[in-house]
Structure 1
Amino acid sequence: MKLERESLKLLEKALEKLESGFELPNLDQSYDLDKMEAVITKTAEKMQDNYPYFHPLFAGQMLKPPHPIAKAAYMMAMWINPNNHAMDGSKASSPMEKEAVADLAKMFGWEKHLGHLTGGGTMANLEALWVAGKIHPDKKIIASDQAHYTHERISEVLKLEFDKVGTDHQGRIDIQALEEMLKQGDIGTVVCTMGTTGLGSVDPLDDILELRNKYDFRVHADAAYGGYFTLLDNLASQTIKKYQQLDKVDSLVIDPHKQGLQPYGCGCVLFQNPEVAKFYIHESPYTYFTSDELHLGEISLECSRAGASAVGLWATHQLMPLVRNGEFANNLSKSRSAALRLFEKLQTSDDFFPLLKPETDIVAWGIKGRTTSEMSQKANEFFMRAEENHLYLSLYKYPTSKLSNPSFEIDTDYLVCLRSSLMKPEHEDWLNDIWSRMIASL
């Protein structure tokens, strides 16, 4: 197995081009290369103690390798190491960030917006809920019991009251249960998850927006994982309908370091109404002087932020624009196709059964047995054998109360299942190999 190295040639040419833009006296930048070689070799040996996250046989957690253009552009930027807090430290990369963020907003149908990159989805969600708390300071934040745990933790940090709403057996917000909670009149924001990290389920945004017409609350879309699926045509029609409503939410989060082919950390928060910038207003005695244009630090809770993230994202958008039927969308659709193919194989298996039909590219399945305790034990043992066969999966605890018409005895609160995030476009070509290793691991 060889790691991709062709992008290093691009990096060398890019550094030569970058270097030619500075007419400055020579600077002595000599280092002890022998000592550095010893350290970097030792570092590489340490890094061998990893799962092969970049390979299609890693079909477990949400880990997707950055595109070569993103790696090359990010590394090139490291020679300057821009800080995208203020234009003083990011004269080129701040405008690149604004352009890349506008690309993301346009993908959701937003021509007017306020937004910026963040260190990741957690920080992006924190900013969205912080603004929500400023608008409804005495009202609750609501998310589903399958939403990412970060919403509850963030609400605690922000001293905002938080509550969970139940979900159906597909892992999506139960609309009737939500309306019962809304009737109390104490909910300020509903978090709608556009692709849960557990099952990849998409909350019923269209129904939630209808409830917003009846009750007064904000809608925040956590599309950290699933946002890019808005570009696809091979989703179920009902799922497509939900994604088509994203232009109507109040705030939105997406993580380019998940499906967007970027290195960690690269998240993004977007607000429909640019006037929420008023909540960010602050003064700094030594920044914001080099430009009359808006500095990104003036609309961000974070201070220093890697400008290299913006450079990598901008370059990726230049190579693969975020448009339907483009190269980026077509590669993402392969992940969706791989998930559907695995689901079909599970349906006809004598040994496995799917929990539900995937809405995105996450597939969860159980191993057949007499009781949920027996099936959970089988899943744990299968997980270890699969790794011995160089197939890397993940485990998932599914509430047995949500199982629909089970043909087995329920004797536990949770069923331990297997789970795959088929995020790499190569997963479609490798699916038969993955299936063979699954069978061999029984």
Structure 2
Amino acid sequence: MVPSDENGRMIPTELERLIMERKTRGHIPFFVCCTSGTTVLGAFDPINAIADICKKYGMWLHVDAAWGGGLLLSRKYRHPRLTGIERADSVTWNPHKLMGALLQCSTIHFKEDGLLMSCNQMSADYLFMQDKLYDIRYDTGDKVIQCGRHNDIFKLWLQWRGKGDDGFEKHMDRLMELSEYMVKRIKEQPDKFYLIMEPEMVNVSFWYIPKRLRNVPHSAQREQELGKMCPVLKARMMQEGTLMVGYQPDDRRPNFFRNIISSAAVTQEDVDFLLNEMDRLGNDL
């Protein structure tokens, strides 16, 4: 694994250091996967800097944009998060995540035309007739290892026809603006909430601070106490039936809450309710 910075982004100098280290051992590094929208922190790796390194060493660059790829449709938010994605050799993107398509809807995109066919084609003409009415290049069965599968792309096509580029852009912008609103509300209540970092996406990571710890200076020991309370507060949410907010640790911190806003139905009033309800349920912890 390539080390990341405190915000969860890959460090390009560390990537190059590891490549050179492996090459001196006689290994052949050939593939780099960077992430555009990590699952927990919503971090975006610096694609251009990583692409420069991949070009220098002749390595394949894959961008996992399963979570953050939808921001490509927002002129306001696509840069600098996804700047350089056009330099990738391959990209994954899951419209069923941020875009709101129905499960399952996952896509993979390759720069080199015909690559999947050359890798996976079995030339099973008894399955894939060559004299069909339509262009047989649209047959996916001979391009992928699964052969038969659901026509998952149709739901995205239908959704795109209904919403259009403008509709998707408005959806992306609204999700980001709601997340920014949540960050603003957290900062307005520093006695009750501690924002872990400025989010790059809709992942808002924070601790809830119960009454007994509000006058305690922030420290590693305090973080441990806040982390212990996350499962207890989550259990209270579930028992009350009012909230469902995920929590998890990372390699630098104990448990913290990670709120995701990806639904078109969410409002600012919902964000206010979430924070108020967390305080109501956790005040005495």
Q: Whole-Å Cα distance in 1 between the matches of residues 168 and 254 of structure 2? A: 36
Q: Could you say which residue in structure 1 is the equivalent of 2:84? A: 245
2:235 to 372, 377, 384: 384
Instruction: Rate the CA distance shift 1:248–1:397 in 2: closer, same or farther, 3 A.
Output: same
Task: Give the letter for the 2:7 counterpart.
Answer: Q
Task: Give the letter for the 1:378 counterpart.
Answer: M
Contact 2:29 / 2:59 at 8 angstroms: preserved in 1?
yes
1:190 to 14, 20, 32: 32
Query: What SS class does the counterpart of residue 234 from structure 2 fall into?
Result: helix
CA apart distance, 1:389: 5.3
Q: Could you say which residue in structure 2 is the equivalent of 1:434? A: 274
Contact 1:339 / 1:363 at 8 angstroms: preserved in 2?
yes
Q: Could you say which residue in structure 2 is the equivalent of 1:312? A: 155
Contact 1:383 / 1:418 at 8 angstroms: preserved in 2?
no
Q: Whole-Å Cα distance in 1 between the matches of residues 246 and 81 of structure 2? A: 28
Q: Whole-Å Cα distance in 1 between the matches of residues 126 and 114 of structure 2? A: 25
Q: Whole-Å Cα distance in 2 between the matches of residues 332 and 241 of structure 1? A: 15
Q: What TM-score, normalized by structure 2, do the two folds share?
A: 0.84
CA apart distance, 1:441: 2.0
Counterpart mapping for 1:199-238 below 5 A: 199-235=41-77
Contact 2:32 / 2:54 at 8 angstroms: preserved in 1?
no
Query: What SS class does the counterpart of residue 79 from structure 2 fall into?
Result: helix
Q: Whole-Å Cα distance in 1 between the matches of residues 88 and 280 of structure 2? A: 46
Q: Whole-Å Cα distance in 2 between the matches of residues 195 and 275 of structure 1? A: 28
Task: Give the letter for the 1:222 counterpart.
Answer: D
Q: Whole-Å Cα distance in 1 between the matches of residues 18 and 198 of structure 2? A: 28
Which segments of structure 1 move beyond 3 Å, counting only runs of 4 or more? 367-370
CA apart distance, 1:398: 2.3
Q: Does 1:345 align with 2:185?
A: yes
Query: What SS class does the counterpart of residue 302 from structure 1 fall into?
Result: coil
Structure 2 residues without counterparts, runs of 5 or longer: 214-220
Q: Whole-Å Cα distance in 1 between the matches of residues 241 and 76 of structure 2? A: 31
2:105 to 266, 283, 307: 266
CA apart distance, 1:178: 0.8
Task: Give the letter for the 1:247 counterpart.
Answer: E
Q: Could you say which residue in structure 1 is the equivalent of 2:9? A: 172
1:286 to 112, 126, 137: 126
Q: Does 1:354 align with 2:195?
A: yes
Instruction: Rate the CA distance shift 1:293–1:363 in 2: closer, same or farther, 3 A.
Output: same
Query: What SS class does the counterpart of residue 299 from structure 1 fall into?
Result: coil
Q: Whole-Å Cα distance in 2 between the matches of residues 204 and 336 of structure 1? A: 20
Query: What SS class does the counterpart of residue 211 from structure 1 fall into?
Result: helix
Contact 1:334 / 1:428 at 8 angstroms: preserved in 2?
no
Counterpart mapping for 1:15-34 below 5 A: none
Q: What TM-score, normalized by structure 1, do the two folds share?
A: 0.56
Q: Does 1:275 align with 2:114?
A: yes
Farther-moved stretch of structure 1 (335-344 vs 220-229) = 335-344
Task: Give the letter for the 2:193 counterpart.
Answer: F
- CA RMSD of the aligned region, Å? 1.9
Contact 1:190 / 1:220 at 8 angstroms: preserved in 2?
yes
Structure 1 residues without counterparts, runs of 5 or longer: 1-163, 401-413
CA apart distance, 1:253: 0.5
Q: Whole-Å Cα distance in 1 between the matches of residues 174 and 81 of structure 2? A: 21
Task: Give the letter for the 1:240 counterpart.
Answer: H
Farther-moved stretch of structure 1 (201-210 vs 280-289) = 280-289
Instruction: Rate the CA distance shift 1:428–1:204 in 2: closer, same or farther, 3 A.
Output: farther
Tell me the alpha carbon deviations over residues 225-269 of structure 1, each in whole angstroms, 9 at most, x when there is no partner. Answer: 11011122443xxx6134131111000111121123222211111
Number of residue-to-residue matches in the alignment: 259
Q: Whole-Å Cα distance in 1 between the matches of residues 75 and 280 of structure 2? A: 34
2:207 to 353, 366, 370: 366
Contact 1:218 / 1:250 at 8 angstroms: preserved in 2?
yes
Q: Whole-Å Cα distance in 1 between the matches of residues 271 and 223 of structure 2? A: 27
Q: Whole-Å Cα distance in 2 between the matches of residues 396 and 247 of structure 1? A: 32
Contact 1:337 / 1:428 at 8 angstroms: preserved in 2?
no
Q: Which has the higher contact order (CA 8 A, sep 6+)?
A: 1
Q: Does 1:398 align with 2:250?
A: yes
Q: Whole-Å Cα distance in 2 between the matches of residues 367 and 234 of structure 1? A: 30
Task: Give the letter for the 1:433 counterpart.
Answer: F
Tell me the alpha carbon deviations over residues 62-94 of structure 1, each in whole angstroms, 9 at most, x when there is no partner. Answer: xxxxxxxxxxxxxxxxxxxxxxxxxxxxxxxxx
Tell me the alpha carbon deviations over residues 17-48 of structure 1, each in whole angstroms, 9 at most, x when there is no partner. Answer: xxxxxxxxxxxxxxxxxxxxxxxxxxxxxxxx
CA apart distance, 1:285: 5.3
Contact 2:100 / 2:262 at 8 angstroms: preserved in 1?
no
Task: Give the letter for the 2:162 counterpart.
Answer: L
CA apart distance, 1:437: 1.4
Task: Give the letter for the 1:213 counterpart.
Answer: K
Q: Whole-Å Cα distance in 1 between the matches of residues 172 and 35 of structure 2? A: 19
Instruction: Rate the CA distance shift 1:438–1:367 in 2: closer, same or farther, 3 A.
Output: closer
Task: Give the letter for the 1:196 counterpart.
Answer: T
Contact 2:227 / 2:256 at 8 angstroms: preserved in 1?
yes
Q: Could you say which residue in structure 1 is the equivalent of 2:216? A: none
Query: What SS class does the counterpart of residue 190 from structure 1 fall into?
Result: strand
Q: Could you say which residue in structure 1 is the equivalent of 2:217? A: none
Q: Could you say which residue in structure 2 is the equivalent of 1:375? A: 226
Tell me the alpha carbon deviations over residues 129-180 of structure 1, each in whole angstroms, 9 at most, x when there is no partner. Answer: xxxxxxxxxxxxxxxxxxxxxxxxxxxxxxxxxxx11110001101221110
